[in-house]
Amino acid sequence: MKKCKNWLLLDKDGKDIELTAEIFGELSMLVSFIGISMYNLLKGKDNKPLLIVMLGFLAGKGIGQFVGSREKKHLVSGILHGISGALYTASYVLENKDT
């Protein structure tokens, strides 16, 4: 049985450091989104722009994972997140076209 590696260590080909950077990047983005969302809720502001950015990120990530793995579940995820992001964007634009 193979021992699990520490996920913070650099592998010879550099993939572990990329994975570590991706994990920390996504976690910090989510923490900042949560903070901004809580602030918007307390101030009574709209959170749709944050949701649009998050859906765009998830769409890109799903498509990127599909390109790397060729698994259809990642393609479906990317497409559905992209459609959701487009619908939220259209809804946000239509609600705020007069202001």
- Split at pLDDT 50, 70, 90, the class of 20 is confident
pLDDT for 48-81, tens place per residue? 999 999 999 999 999 998 998 899 999 999 999 9
Task: Provide CB contacts within 8 A for 81, sequence distance 6+.
Answer: 55, 56, 58, 59, 62
CA distance 74 to 85: 16
Q: What is the pLDDT of residue 89?
A: 94
- Split at pLDDT 50, 70, 90, the class of 2 is very low
Rounded to two decimals, the pTM is 0.74
Token pair of 73 as six digits: 């579940």
